Amino acid sequence: MSLFEKIMFLSPKKEVDGSYSPSPLALKLATVKKSDYSFDQYENAYTGNKLKVLMICTEEKNMVMKNGKRFSTGNHPIEMLVPMLHLKSAGFDIDIVTPTGKPVQIEMWAMPQDDDAVKGIYQEYKHEFDNPGSVMDFVKNSLVEDSPYIGVYLPGGHGAMLGLPDNADVGEIIRWSHKQSQYMLAICHGPAALLAASIGIDAKDFIYKDYEMTAFPDAVDKQTPLMGYMPGHLPWALGERLNSFGTTILNKKISGACHVDRKLVSGDSPLAANEFGKIAATCLLDELENRN
């Protein structure tokens, strides 16, 4: 391999809009052609048509790094779609919202091209991804006690750090969901959206203060630019910010670890997507049984 080829193999790829997607090396190391989705069937699957899960997605694509370069991101397809497969298998439909109703941004460079199940549910929800509801409208019209929602889902991808943590309406939904004793499902960088619940309050009043969770660790994020996954270092650190509000990130590495603390279900990375989806589906179904 020539020096030029080595440089290109390690360098993030420049997109037509001037942003950067991961290098060939990063894609080789950090993405897969097929997920480990396990096709679980749930004997006690919900058979009604009223209860749903609300999924809050990002509508922003480009993250400005510390060096000023833009990282082409969004929601990670495996972290988003594999848990959706489990939730659907458990009988729950999923409503999709973004802050203003603009299309969901997805890291298409991470789509598992040989995975018919993942690509299938992506196509099933393609219209909703392109035409989601808006967080703003949801806050205006749907924050009611007699709610058809049994949980809120925050999918991962670095895009979850864009436009959600600083959105007051997202914070309203999270606090409302917590008050309604709904499950909160957050994977990888998805917990960034939980920070919206801290807007305008003292750290001691953060609803997830003293909670433990798994998430994508800051230490690994600091390493990813070395293989060209990102064109620079992140503008802020997820774990550091969450810790400042009294939460504890349990993992230092990524291993597929998941954790349940009260009604917060979390997972650390794409490696956790299948197990996270199974746990989330089981928790929601157990909640239904406990209600009856």
Phi and psi of 97, rounded to 5°? -135, 150
Q: What's the rounded Cα separation, in Å, for the pair 76 and 179?
A: 28
Between CA 20 and CA 94 the distance in angstroms is 31
The two tokens of residue 82 are 């594999």
Helix or strand (DSSP H, E) at 64: strand 62-64
Q: Which residue numbers are catalytic?
A: 188
Residue type, 123: Q
Give 8's contacts (C-beta < 8 A, 6+ positions apart): 24
- The dihedral region occupied by 256, where left means phi > 0, alpha psi between -120 and 50, and beta the remainder, is left
Residues 6+ apart with CB under 8 A from 51: 92, 148, 149, 150, 288
User: Is residue 273 within 8 Å of 110, Cβ to Cβ?
Assistant: no
Instruction: Classify burial at 5, counting beta carbons within 10 Å of its beta carbon; exposed 0-12, middle 13-18, buried 19 or more.
Output: exposed
